[in-house]
Amino acid sequence: MFTGIVTDVGEVLVVEERAQGLRRLTIGCSYDRGSIALGASIACAGACLTVVAVGAHDGRTAFAAEAAAETLAVTTVGRWKQGTRINLERALKMGEELGGHLVLGHVDGIAEVIAREDLPDMARIALRAPAPLARFIAAKGSVALDGISLTVNAVDADAFSVLVIPHTLAVTTLAATRLGDALNLEVDLMARYAARLMEAPDD
């Protein structure tokens, strides 16, 4: 479980193809090496990946995670290459502050950036969601984009927009987002369950 509050921006250092469609990713970060346990979950651009190795790479902390075929198919992980910068978040611990919203790290699909407007104090980014996910996105609701908890500003059919404050632009990868970019999208868990309950037949 995560909150969508990014705690580091990592860099993909090595991409290795493994057997049975697995891809092993070595990611550099600024976390204390001793604080990363094997088997720990880290949200990498919003996708929850399991740490399979911890070490150092050119003097910096690095961890390795493996992405299976399903993850490669439904997220942007399959597009990562050496040098790709990704938002990172460690798993939420009981008792910690819930600063964003509840994020599972289970990416629902890929949203495409269709417009960006840089304002004096923030940026407005418009995106198009996959059609099956659009019904879960509502104005003033929450979404996670590349692992960042954001409030939906406006919705128009399968398009929606978010306003990004300067702090978020400074500490995440969103500052570099441009027209046509693909971002991992996780819809709000509560919206998904509410929709499911509405679909359930009456007893």
Per DSSP, the residues of the chain read -B-S---EEEEEEEEEE-GGG-EEEEEEESS-GGGPPTT-EEEETTEEEEEEEEEEETTEEEEEEEE-HHHHHHSGGGG--TT-EEEEEEPPPTTS---S--B-S---EEEEEEEEEE-SS-EEEEEE--GGGGGG--TT-EEEETTEEEEEEEEETTEEEEEE-HHHHHHSGGGG--TT-EEEEEE-HHHHHHHHHHHSPP-
More reliable by pLDDT, 94 or 131: 131
Asked if pLDDT for residue 202 goes beyond 70, the answer is no
Q: Are 174 and 10 in contact (CB under 8 A)?
A: no
Does the pLDDT at position 48 exceed 90?
yes
61 and 122 belong to one structural domain: no
Q: Is residue 104 part of a domain?
A: no
Residue 114 and residue 69 share a domain: no
76 and 125 part of one domain: no
Query: Do residues 85 and 165 both lie within one domain?
Result: no
Give the percent of the chain with pLDDT over 70: 92
Can you tell me the mean pLDDT for 131-156? Answer: 95
Looking at residue 124, its pLDDT comes to 97
Same domain, 194 and 113: yes
Mean pLDDT of the chain: 92
pLDDT digits (tens, 9 = 90+) for 49-64: 999 999 998 889 999 9
- Residue 26 in any domain: the answer is yes
Whether 14 contacts 27, CB under 8 Å: no
pLDDT digits (tens, 9 = 90+) for 80-106: 999 999 999 999 877 676 777 889 999
Answer yes or no: is 41 within a domain. yes
Q: What's the pLDDT at 200?
A: 61
Residue 98: inside a domain: no
- Residue 93's pLDDT is 77
Asked if 103 and 186 touch (Cβ cutoff 8 Å), the reply is: yes
Q: Does the global pTM surpass 0.85?
A: yes
Tell me the residue range of the domain where 71 lies: 8-90
Give residue 85's Cα distance to chain centre: 12
Q: How many domains does the chain have?
A: 2
Percent of the chain with pLDDT over 90: 81
> Binning pLDDT at 50, 70 and 90, where does residue 197 land?
low
Positions marked catalytic: 2, 41, 48, 50, 68, 106, 151
Is residue 55 located within the same domain as residue 13?
yes
Backbone angles phi, psi at 149, to 5 degrees: -75, 120
Q: Is residue 71 part of a domain?
A: yes
Q: What is the pLDDT of residues 7-46, one digit of tens each?
A: 999 999 999 998 888 999 999 999 999 999 999 999 999 9
Answer with the one of 63, 90, 117 that is the final residue of a domain.
Answer: 90
Of 58, 90, 122, which residue constitutes the final position of a domain?
90
**Domain-ending residue, one of 24, 59, 90:** 90
**Statement to judge: residues 65 and 135 lie in one domain:** no
Residue 6 has pLDDT above 90, yes or no: yes
Q: How confident is the model at residue 201 (pLDDT cuts 50, 70, 90)?
A: low
Residue 28 carries which side chain, given as an amino acid letter?
A: G
